[in-house]
Structure 1
Amino acid sequence: MSWHLGRLCGFDLETTGVEVETDRIVTACVVQCGGDQPTASANWLADPGIEIPEGAAKVHGITTEQARAKGRPAPEVVEQVVAALAQVVRDGIPIVAMNASFDLTMLDREARRHGAQPLVDIVGDDLRVLDPRVLDKHVDKFRRGNRKLEDLARHYRVALDGAHSADADAIAACRVVWRMGQSYPDMQCCTLDELHALQIQWAGEQARSLRAHFARTPGKESWAAGVREDWPMVPHQAEAGER
């Protein structure tokens, strides 16, 4: 049976910003679907412990006041999200995450910040990830237009209600990947191990292409240095004094 007919686990975060080393988790969703089983979704609202900028609140709809009033302590949320994903990996289910290197890196840094065991330390090399962004850029390199999740949902005829809420984005990412599995026989034929390894290669190629584009585009030259090739997570760099 092809991987796209089995169980998939969507994972998505909404955060205080886009800096994985310093920003914080506001909401999280881990949703399992497919495989001829009922959909099972777990959602969290965290008090990130810092102010949620107005711009971020406009994206995901959670203000600082709401997070403080209704959110659970960030260390508790982070530990539970890591535990949920670790169980998924143990069960042999791939994690589906749009722009996975953002969400998985953010979760890793939050775990380290709050003294929780990071996911990578728990599951090691057993982690298998499907990233709609990386997959789509590989199979349809020259399609014009944006490739945000809402764009991919539209292209692959997937409903996306409530974009930029973690639960809506997580389930939509799974549906996009499922559609891609249906649409591309070469992708169907890959095992999860093979597809994970290929995405590491493709993500690196895509990052190098983007870096070269920025380097030759007037006004964007400085952006090139910030393009990372790491996938599905940016490795943690221990600071002085850390073990």
Structure 2
Amino acid sequence: MELKLNRPICFFDLETTGIDVARDRIVEISILKVFPNGNKESKTWLVNPTIPIPPHSTAVHGITDEKVANEPVFKELASHVYNMIKDSDLAGFNSDRFDIPLLAEELLRAEVDFDMKNRVAVDVQTIFHKKEERTLSAAYRFYCNESLDNAHSAEADTNATYEILKAQLDRYEDLENDIKSLSEFTKRKRSVDFAGFIALNEEEQEIFTFGKHKGALVEEVLEKEPGYFGWIQNADFPLYTKKVLTGIKLRKLNTKL
């Protein structure tokens, strides 16, 4: 089943130096852009992460320091990546918890103001886990009856994810062929920032999800304990979390004017 699209959607996958969203870096990114008319555009870049690639990460994706030594750093590629995804919804495998947050960090680090305000995301892994509880290779074999050669190659994983989503729509009649509906189905929690440090409560109010203020309204904490904002801004939190928190603080200040 082909996707019903009202706007383009970009399937993407990252290979990285590790799994710490705030500290690790991209070493390979592949994007498959699918347009409403069925046309496709794809691009894959190797990236010099500017930090050493740990052996355990190389063991997963096969990318070494030597392989990326002469490749561009992400800041050189940021505008190309952003131009490809700026008008699109996003999709990936485990993308809500990892790929989108890490991509956001890299874009913000490169001074590209990325957010998800006018787009939705579909995490194909969530559909898979809710329906079958498997891995990407098993999902490809289960849904597409194919072996995933070159697993942990960003390009192979990206194309497999696209094919899996189409096969999932064929298999599950209760899945609506609509990107916003698929996005709602794949959401795990109502996070405001990608990392989940700030979420929405039942009243649609931002709350902290960690530390001594867990469950407290963000606006109330910032008003009663203004130093907490400075602590987060100077601590090792993701850049996108800091961006969201700054937006909440500015919104509160504007309501007082």
| TM-score of the superposed pair, with normalisation by structure 2 | 0.68
Instruction: Return the offset for 1:186.
Output: 1.0
Describe the superposition over 1:73-121 as per-residue Cα deviations: whole angstroms up to 9, x where unpaired.
Answer: 221223322331113x1xxxx4220001200000111122232222x1x
**Please, what is the CA RMSD of the aligned residues?**
2.7
The answer to whether the Cα contact below 8 Å between 2:127 and 2:185 also exists between their aligned partners in 1 is no
1:133 alignment counterpart? 125
1:169 alignment counterpart? 157
Q: Would you say 1:148 and 2:135 are equivalent positions?
A: yes
Percent identical among aligned pairs is 25
Query: Structure 1 198/154 Cα, relative in aligned 2: closer, same or farther at 3 Å?
Result: same
Find the residue that maps to 2:14 and give its secondary structure.
strand
- Matched AA of 1:76: E
Instruction: Return the offset for 1:36.
Output: 6.3
The structure 2 residue matched to 1:240, chosen from 212, 215, 234, is: 234
| Superposition map of 1:75-224 within 5 A | 75-87=75-87, 89=88, 94-100=89-95, 101-118=97-114, 120=115, 124=117, 126-140=118-132, 147-157=134-144, 159=146, 160-188=148-176, 191-200=178-187, 203-204=188-189
Instruction: Return the offset for 1:197.
Output: 2.2
Bigger CA radius of gyration: 2
- Matched AA of 1:197: E
Stretches of structure 2 that go unaligned for 5 or more consecutive residues are 199-231, 236-241, 247-257
Instruction: Return the offset for 1:231.
Output: 8.8
Query: Structure 1 27/81 Cα, relative in aligned 2: closer, same or farther at 3 Å?
Result: same
- Matched AA of 1:163: A
Describe the superposition over 1:45-93 as per-residue Cα deviations: whole angstroms up to 9, x where unpaired.
Answer: 1111100111111221211122112x11221223322331113x1xxxx
Partners of 1:164 and 1:183 in 2: CA distance: 25
- Matched AA of 2:13: D
Instruction: Return the offset for 1:177.
Output: 0.5
Deviating above 4 A after TM superposition, structure 1's stretches of 4 or more consecutive aligned residues are: 5-8, 33-36, 229-232, 235-238
1:223 alignment counterpart? none
The answer to whether the Cα contact below 8 Å between 2:191 and 2:197 also exists between their aligned partners in 1 is no
Find the residue that maps to 2:233 and give its secondary structure.
coil
Partners of 1:156 and 1:232 in 2: CA distance: 32
